[in-house]
């Protein structure tokens, strides 16, 4: 079984408890963090937004509220299990749609989206996938529009940092550590300007990246 397929199956199983796990783990700070991410995503009524690696879709209802009835929200993930959970968070008549696909290739035309978001997922992607995905985000974003990426901050506490590293390596995402340290250089290859914000909890950071195309 290849690593991608293993990871997909892992998330299919994890989907049943993912939201409970996050609530327990983050004691609700993750919800405030998501509010913060959506608040910082530049969107207007009627806009189209893509959430990559949407998981159980926690950003989707919030993004939907922001773009309104004339807008469009797309949640993309390769795990059917995660998308099934996400589907229950939005009305079947909403303007949110779901795409089951590997982020290695975004199945959309160029210059379609007014914003692209990705929360706590980019570091999990393989290095080749990350570069291809960034190029593809540039392609599907309209010129001058924004990619907003949220990632963990490396914890100051040595023991907690060690636990985070163990989690990354157990997922086969050893390069994640390097990425968490060098995101700016990676993002500046494709976007300008690239601005960094800290979330209110201080546990995550948000990168606001403007498409220089």
Range 173-180, long-range pairs (CB < 8 A, 24+ positions): 173/123, 173/124, 175/126, 175/127, 176/123, 176/124, 179/122, 179/123, 179/130, 180/123, 180/151, 180/152, 180/154
Give me the least distance between CB of 163 and ligand SAM, in Å please. 15
Q: Does 151 bind ligand SAM (CB under 6 A)?
A: no
Per CB under 6 A, 98 contacts ligand SAM: no
103 binds ligand SAM (CB under 6 A): yes
d(C-alpha 51, C-alpha 2), whole Å: 25
3-state secondary structure (DSSP) of residue 121: coil
Q: How many chain residues touch ligand SAM (CB under 6 A)?
A: 19
List 47, 64, 114, 124, residue binding ligand SAM (CB under 6 A) = 124
Question: What is the number of other CB atoms lying within 10 angstroms of the CB of residue 99?
Answer: 16
Q: Name which of 7 and 66 has its Cβ closer to ligand SAM.
A: 7
> CB-wise, 14 or 142, nearer to ligand SAM?
14
- Smallest distance from ligand SAM to CB 189, Å: 20
What does the radius of gyration of the chain's CA atoms come to, in whole angstroms? 16
Please check whether residue 158 is in contact with residue 165, taking contact to mean a CB–CB distance below 8 angstroms. no
Residue nearest to ligand SAM (CB): 55
Distance, CA of 163 to CA of 9 (rounded, Å) = 23
Q: Which of 58, 130, 146, 211 binds ligand SAM (CB under 6 A)?
A: 58
Would you tell me which residues interact with ligand SAM (CB under 6 A)? Answer: 7, 11, 53-55, 58, 77-79, 82, 102-104, 119-121, 124-125, 129
């Amino acid at each position: 079984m290849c690593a991608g397929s293993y990871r997909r199956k892992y998330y299919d199983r994890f989907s049943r408890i993912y939201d409970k796990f996050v609530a327990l783990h983050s004691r609700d700070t993750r919800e405030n963090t998501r509010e913060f991410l959506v608040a910082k995503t530049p969107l207007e009524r009627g806009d189209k937004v893509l959430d990559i690696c949407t998981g159980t879709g926690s950003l989707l209802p919030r993004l939907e509220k922001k773009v309104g009835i004339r807008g469009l929200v797309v949640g993309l993930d390769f795990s059917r299990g995660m998308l099934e959970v996400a589907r229950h968070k939005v009305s079947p008549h909403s303007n949110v749609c779901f795409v089951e696909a590997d982020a290695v290739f975004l199945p959309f035309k160029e210059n379609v989206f007014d914003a692209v978001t990705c929360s706590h997922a980019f570091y999990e992607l393989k290095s080749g996938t990350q570069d291809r995905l960034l190029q593809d985000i540039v392609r599907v974003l309209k010129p001058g529009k924004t990619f907003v990426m949220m990632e963990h901050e490396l914890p100051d506490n040595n023991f907690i940092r060690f636990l985070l590293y163990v989690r990354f390596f157990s997922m086969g995402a050893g390069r994640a550590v390097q990425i968490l340290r060098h995101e700016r250089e990676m993002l500046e290859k494709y976007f300008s300007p690239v601005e960094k914000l800290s979330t209110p909890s201080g546990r995550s950071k948000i990168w606001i990246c403007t498409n220089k195309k």
